[in-house]
Structure 1
Amino acid sequence: MGKQKKKKSEWLDWLKALLIAFGLAFIVRTFLFAPIVVDGPSMLPTLHDRDQMIVNKIGYRFGDPERFEIVVFHASDQKDFIKRVIGLPGEHIAVRDNVLYVNDQPVEQPFLTEYNNEILTNDFELEELPGEYKTIPEDQVLVLGDNRGNSTDSRILGMISMDQIVGKTSVRYWPFDRIDIMKLGE
């Protein structure tokens, strides 16, 4: 009888341990970190289709996005997008002849390269984008894909509310030959 009671106790211990592990995994994935798979070419050459990354969900609970961070946001109820923050609240953004202007001052974009010698970004002014803002509203950001010729971003979607942002990405863990910690502006 003692042996059977001991086995039952072991099973309960294992069950408790598994429930705690699943509970912790749920909490971590829901509130702290989550995986995301890049879908499509909109962030080339920085991120490739099917790259797998970690989304830090807690970073913006304590601070706001910085220019050039790569963020994941809810584009719709079913779809999350991954793009780069280009414009911050209170700023005026324009692109002329592939030069980014923030409040009429040129800003380097070191992550952009001559991508097949094509025009990287068609010219635009903030006022021409959905919402027709003169400056980016509070609690919103302007995002663009690095592959500017093939990206659904703020030029189509308009400004992205901070409420839509899931978190920022900075760690690529797959494929193994491209494991990387992305630095701001890379």
Structure 2
Amino acid sequence: MKVSFLREKEINWLKSLILAFLLALIIRTFLFSPVTVDGASMEPTLHDRERIIVTRTITWIGEVNRGDIVIINDTVNDKNYVKRVIGMPGELIEMKDDKLFINGEFIDEPYLSENKKRAHDNGRKLTSDFGPLKVPDNHFFVMGDNRLRSVDSRSDLFGNSLGYISEDRIIGISKFVIYPLSNLRLTK
């Protein structure tokens, strides 16, 4: 009688472990995933080596908004990038004198204030003038917050550009920083 009771207890534990593993796998694959920021292209919003939680619901809910910080899969370089959505499908993007215009309207970018001040104090512009550029359907225009050190949708003379980002390349949207614990915060 003791043997069957122990075996039943072991089977129940095994079932619980398998269920917990499957739930963790489903949550990580379809809902939330940790990502490590690599590089300085999103400073001061996100810092190198910070860990962020990303919602992966983009694959089935599909809602990306201007200003969202997204994780982009680059299959060519087998790498992921963290960037901010600037332009939505079908919009005209233009940058003049460090000011962003979408469809001819000025768009305030408060997350750039620290970087703009630093660049202007050194007699530089944060972002070179470009555009107007039309974002293709089902694509997004992205840039890093640290515009002087970001590979993003802008082109440069050396071909260092992510180009327009198709919807299927966006893995998820950053929600908050989880590590280091002293920097625990929402991402905006």
Q: Confirm or deny a common fold (TM above 0.5).
A: yes
Indicate whether 1:41 and 2:40 are aligned: yes
Kindly report the root-mean-square deviation, in angstroms, between the aligned alpha carbons of the 2 structures.
1.5
Mean Cα deviation higher: 2-11 or 93-102: 2-11
The CA deviation at 1:141 is 0.4
Equivalent residues of 2:58, 2:170 under 8 A apart: no
Q: What is the TM-score with the length of structure 1 in the denominator? A: 0.88
Q: What is the TM-score with the length of structure 2 in the denominator? A: 0.87
Q: Distance in 2 between matches of 1:114 and 1:5?
A: 67
Equivalent residues of 2:37, 2:48 under 8 A apart: yes
Indicate whether 1:125 and 2:124 are aligned: no
Mean Cα deviation higher: 15-24 or 53-62: 53-62
Q: Distance in 1 between matches of 2:81 and 2:132?
A: 21
The CA deviation at 1:61 is 2.8
Question: Which residue does the alignment assign to 2:157?
Answer: none
Question: Which residue does the alignment assign to 1:64?
Answer: 63
Runs of 4+ in structure 1 off by over 4 angstroms are: none
Equivalent residues of 1:114, 1:120 under 8 A apart: no
Give the alignment of 1:65-84 within 5 angstroms: 65-76=64-75, 78-84=78-84
What stretches of structure 2 of length at least 5 have no aligned partner? 155-160
SS in structure 2 at match of 1:100: strand
Give the alignment of 1:4-15 within 5 angstroms: 4-15=3-14
Q: Distance in 2 between matches of 1:95 and 1:61?
A: 32
Matched letter for residue 58 of structure 1: T
Cα distance change, pair 67–37 in 1 and its aligned pair in 2 (3 A)? same
Give the alignment of 1:30-179 within 5 angstroms: 30-59=29-58, 61-76=60-75, 78-115=78-115, 116-117=118-119, 118-127=124-133, 135-155=134-154, 156-179=161-184
The CA deviation at 1:182 is 2.4
Q: Distance in 1 between matches of 2:7 and 2:99?
A: 69
The CA deviation at 1:63 is 4.4
The CA deviation at 1:180 is 0.8
